[in-house]
Amino acid sequence: MKIANAFALASAIFATAHCALADDAYIATSADGKFYAVDTGFVPGPDTRIFADFEFIGEVPFKEDGKTRQYGQILFEATSADDGYARIYITGGGNVGWAFTEPKTEGDTAIWVSTDVAMETGKRYTMDIDAEQRKTVFTYDGNTKTMDFPEGNETIQAANSLMLFANRSKKNSAMVKLYGFKIWKAGTLVHNYVAAKRDGENGLYDAATGVFLPDEGLNESSGNAPFAYGGDMQDVGTGWLESDGTVAFDSGYYFSAASRIEVDFAFTTPENGKRIWGASTDTSVAMSAFYLTGSGNFSFLSGDTPDYYSLGIKADTVRHTAIYDVPGAKAYLITGNVTNKTATLAAGAAPVAQSTIPIGIFADCNNANGKSFSNHYSKSRIYRIKFFTDGKPVKDYIPYVKDGVPGFKDTTSGDFIESATDGVPTYGGNIDGEQDAYIESDGTQGINTGYHMKNTTRVEIDFAYTYHQSGTHGVIFGAHTSTDNRAAAYVNSSTKFTMRHDSASVNKTKSFGAPDLGRHKAIIDAVEKKMYYVTGDVAEEALNGGVNGNYSSATQSQHPMGLFAAITDANGTAFSLEAYMKLYSFRIYETENDVETLVHEYLPYKGADGTIGLFDTVNPSAAPLVDTYVKGNNDTPFIYGGKGVDGAERWLVRPQNCSVSKSQGSVTLVANASGAVSYKWTKNEQAIAGGENGELSVQWTPGAATDVYAATPVYDMFGVQVEGASVACEVANIPPGLLIIVK
């Protein structure tokens, strides 16, 4: 079967496309500086490194003498049992200072290190304090100052956790913009705080752990307003998978006395007895579950007996975190930063032996191979679920979309799991993975591709219905009312997904099954005289060649091909039988002399002017295809989603194969990636300099060699440089004397 790898370029296009921040995001205290601090929960010690990127926005008042400033404005602080300090602050002399040591004698002020740089409002500073290396690097006004730790002082081992924006007593609050705050432990980045948004709320996001601290009371003192925010704040709204009551996953995790389970979730329809997670209702094995009791309360159960823990809180559709910690003998239900309920576990909550049945997600798992589930399926969303053994994270599942299939990815191992049932979860939010971009219609849109089906054509569309109303036919693409070489993918009057490719004399259609809301590819191949309906790795095929499979019309379609609806006139202005659907890609191939060429690859985008349509990566200079169907008063624009939608000019477009001659001197290769901050190039797999902006000038070299150049986009993810998937092209060096005619 000849199905080209349609996702080869798409995987490069959508790989790891994180947008760089144009104006750095920040969180700021108000001018009065009277906010509660944020407790990071991290206890610094001799193996700690801290990096702060900040700007003071308020002056420290002077003492009565009018010459010396009051000591104050602490950016962070943690203290030790013997009065040592870890902090960045403004000294009494008005300089920026720091400390990360213990006093040798009572009252010893040698622990305070002044940078000898006077604090100025509106100036941005960074401080990198490395206790392991006993070095601090301070930057200001484009200058760098490196300072050793005070000689003879020991590095602090704090007795309490580190507070941001104030001291441990929530005094001496800093009037400051904080652009970033990172903490390393023994060389490993454990916290990476940036100002961000999630679910419409502002707060601090820890890019190292995925934890979001919403600004909803945690950071306020009585009577004060929340922090201020600014810059280009990243939307870190965690992605979610949603079950409709038919979905279940085998987590691969086995419950034991050493288990701790954390889940970030929300019921969409609270129903008694339904599970967020569960392992067997068979009391002969160690079991565990988080569910709703018969009275509709949030509850846990676990152990060999088992023990039940109703939290006495009625279920709702609010987002919560549930934690079941067997070694710690505690269970928690948390909303935002408020712990709603804590339950103390009895000894029976700890099973004698490890469960022989893995924990199911969205339902109880009932057997050892993780393929049988109970009728306790919940209708719920899961944002993240973590499994710990002896305090170590062994599975950390985040929602992920791989090759169009929604599932969970384990960040600890990289493994991806799909639903173990016939149900398919829906998904949304800022989901990770290969979530391809899409544009979505609601039955009022139509696009004229301008392309006429030929007997040399193969068309391939990647789509998903969002709704199907009986009788609408829901045409995915169609040029099917012309008198010859008609082609369409639609739902027929018997409510079956159907494709057709025929002429007036041969009516060839094939129904493949009932339409659903899953993601599929529909392919009509006039060259092979076949039609394909592809779901994941499963491809159904049928002849579209009429009698004996010999038919393929020699006449191109009279009507151009429409997307989201069928075109019903020759000039491509009339549409009918509209679809409710998401379109991920539409590709058109043509074959000449047994060589197939991709002539159009249409991918979703949103232009800088707000226009939503389809961008042709094969012809990037062509105008995008947009909605040209006007359906009375019901006409509405496309909606869009997925990664890499914004800006057609920023798609990752593969540099084209080309040749360069001595007379030309050089050619320029161009690669574009949405959100890339720079690019790395290789020549024949060896790194080369240049082309950081995506454009690489390649000089002619003698020897008539063909070289392979590859560009790798680099993205900035909260200060961490992340490389995306590379794309490559070939450049042939033309030997002197060879005549080249470029068409």
Query: Can you give 416-432 as a three-state secondary structure string?
Result: EECCCCCCCCEEECECE
Asked if residue 275 and residue 253 are part of one domain, the reply reads yes
Quote the tokens at residue 303: 């152990």
Gyration radius (Cα) of the chain, Å? 31
For 83, other C-beta atoms within 10 Å of its C-beta total 13
Query: Residues 575, 453: one domain?
Result: yes
Residues 133 and 262 in one domain: no
Domain boundary among 176, 197, 231: 231
The low-confidence residues of the chain, meaning pLDDT below 50, are: 1-22, 434, 644-654, 717-720, 738-743
Measured CA to CA in angstroms, residue 46 lies from 133, 155, 318 at distances of 9, 5, 41
Residue 9 φ/ψ, nearest 5 degrees: -75, -35
Helices (H), 548-618: none
Structural domains of the chain, count: 4
CB atoms within 10 A of CB 498: 22
Considering all CA atoms of the chain, what is the largest pairwise distance in Å, rounded to the nearest integer? Answer: 103
Q: What is the pLDDT of residue 366?
A: 87
Q: Is residue 606 located within the same domain as residue 658?
A: no
- Tell me, yes or no, whether 251 and 355 share the same domain: yes
Whether 113 and 55 share a structural domain: yes
CATH of the domain at 739: 2.60.40.10
673, 639 Cβ separation under 8 angstroms: no
- Residue 13 backbone dihedrals phi, psi, to 5 degrees: -65, -45
CA distance 465 to 497: 11
Peptide bond before 306: cis, by omega within 30 degrees of 0? yes
The answer to whether 459 and 574 have CB atoms below 8 angstroms apart is no
- Could you tell me if 41 and 62 are in contact, meaning their C-beta atoms sit under 8 angstroms apart? no
Using alpha carbons, select from 582, 584, 712, 588 the residue that is nearest to residue 644.
584
Residue type present at position 52: A
Contact 360, 279 (CB under 8 A): yes
The per-residue pLDDT for 273 is 87
207 and 266 assigned to the same domain: no
pLDDT at 704: 65
Give how far Cα 609 sits from Cα of 192, 605, 646, Å. 34, 11, 10
Query: Could you tell me which of 653, 667, 649 has the C-alpha nearest to residue 618?
Result: 653
Q: Check whether residue 701 and residue 588 sit in a common domain.
A: no
Write out the H or E segment, with its range, that includes residue 440.
strand 438-440
Residue 260's contacts (CB-CB under 8 Å, 6 or more residues apart) are 323, 324, 325, 326, 327, 328, 387, 388, 389, 391
d(CA 216, CA 214): 6
pLDDT of residue 190: 82
The kind and range of the H/E element at 338 are strand 338-344
Reduce the secondary structure of 161-195 to three states and give it as a string. Answer: CCEECCCCCCCCECCEEEEEEEEEECCEEEEEEEE
Nearest partner of 299 among 280, 283, 315, judged by Cα = 315
* Exposure letters 374-400 (e unless 16+ CB within 10 A, then b): bebbbbbbbbbbbbbbeeeebbbbbbb
The residue segments making up the domain with residue 8 are 1-21+652-743
The contacts of residue 196 (CB under 8 Å, 6+ apart) are: 25, 202, 203, 204, 205, 212, 233, 234, 235, 236
Residues 358 and 379 in one domain: yes
Residue 512 sits in the same domain as residue 574: yes
**654 touches 712 (CB < 8 A):** no
| Burial status of residue 664 (CB atoms within 10 A of its CB: 0-12, 13-18, 19 or more) | middle
Backbone angles phi and psi of 23, in degrees to 5: -110, 120
30 shares a domain with 15: no
- Would the pTM of this model clear 0.75, i.e. be above it? no
38 and 14 share a domain? no
Residues 104 and 198: their CA atoms lie apart, in Å, by: 45
Distance of CA 478 to the CA centre of its chain: 33
Single out the residue in 210, 231, 252 at which a domain terminates.
231
Q: pLDDT digit string (tens) for 343-398?
A: 888 877 888 888 888 999 999 998 887 888 888 999 999 999 999 999 888 999 99
Q: Which residue has the tokens 């679910």?
A: 199
Of 178, 204, 231, which marks where a domain is finished?
231
* Residues counted in the chain: 743
**Which segments of 91-243 are extended strands (E)?**
95-101, 113-118, 124-130, 135-140, 143-148, 163-164, 176-185, 188-198, 201-206, 211-214, 228-230, 234-235, 240-242
CA-nearest of 460, 502, 454, 455 to 477 is: 460
Which CATH number belongs to the domain containing residue 89 in this structure?
2.60.120.200
